Structure 1
């Protein structure tokens, strides 16, 4: 019986430490720290994607005027902004992130800080030139 309790404790501790990036996240403006949007991260075919599910500041019916190709003119709400991330240990990388304000696409990696905070890094080249944001899990 002691072994069953031990296995149960081990299983619970593993699941508590297993942080997921899936779900809804709030983003914040870099300068004002004002809440900007709610992003949903989801998995499809062992790859991770994210789309805007709520635009908090600005026009609720805004479109991505500065986006290129197939995303140009698409509504901001529903816009897929992170594509093709691969899980690599505790990090998620080898994907891209779209900045809908500039229309630019950057290399991207995500790293859970804890269950409620996500480090999001968009960059050019070798991650030296870029920007880091922290997203907060939406309750």
Structure 2
């Protein structure tokens, strides 16, 4: 029994959104950024833009389209995920918001680890409309 638990621990530990993820544009297939998702306390997750990979990204870029306290803040280090928490009895995190810094809009967030936690389905939506991206875990 102990051998089974020890051998399954690495897989179980990966079935969480916590970690470093590469965001790939669902339209162009271009790697755009790396986002670090962490426990923000009280069971909620937070995610910050750690690295920008887009060819047009500049280190001095700021979130000029944001409408809250993030307006004018540097893109690097910008908190884009707030308040997602684990759904009861499921490997799904929801109830939070995700910011698209390119348009300044906040979307309702749903995240689900797939493929043994090596990929993360990230869905941002407003009402019935939304889109899903698949992020790849950075090792």
Same fold (TM over 0.5): yes
The residue aligned with 1:3 is none
CA distance in structure 1 between the aligned counterparts of 2:68 and 2:10, rounded to whole angstroms: 41
Residues 1:51 and 2:52 aligned together? no
CA distance in structure 2 between the aligned counterparts of 1:44 and 1:105, rounded to whole angstroms: 18
The Cα shift of 1:13 comes to 2.7
Matches within 5 A, 1:1-139: 6-13=1-8, 15-18=10-13, 19-45=15-41, 46-57=43-54, 58-88=57-87, 89-114=90-115, 115-125=117-127, 128-139=128-139
SS at match of 1:69: coil
Closer, same or farther in 2 for the Cα pair 1:30/1:16, shift >3 Å? closer
**For this pair of structures, how many residues does the alignment match?**
132
Which runs of 5 or more structure 1 residues have no equivalent in the other structure? 1-5
The Cα shift of 1:8 comes to 2.5
CA distance in structure 2 between the aligned counterparts of 1:10 and 1:56, rounded to whole angstroms: 38
Segments of 4+ moved more than 3 angstroms: none
Asked whether the 8 Å contact 2:16–2:91 carries over to 1, the reply is no
CA distance in structure 2 between the aligned counterparts of 1:30 and 1:14, rounded to whole angstroms: 31
CA distance in structure 2 between the aligned counterparts of 1:10 and 1:73, rounded to whole angstroms: 48
- Which of the two has higher C-alpha Rg? 1
Structure having greater relative contact order (Cα 8 Å, sep ≥ 6)? 2
Q: TM-score, normalised by structure 1?
A: 0.88
CA distance in structure 2 between the aligned counterparts of 1:133 and 1:70, rounded to whole angstroms: 26
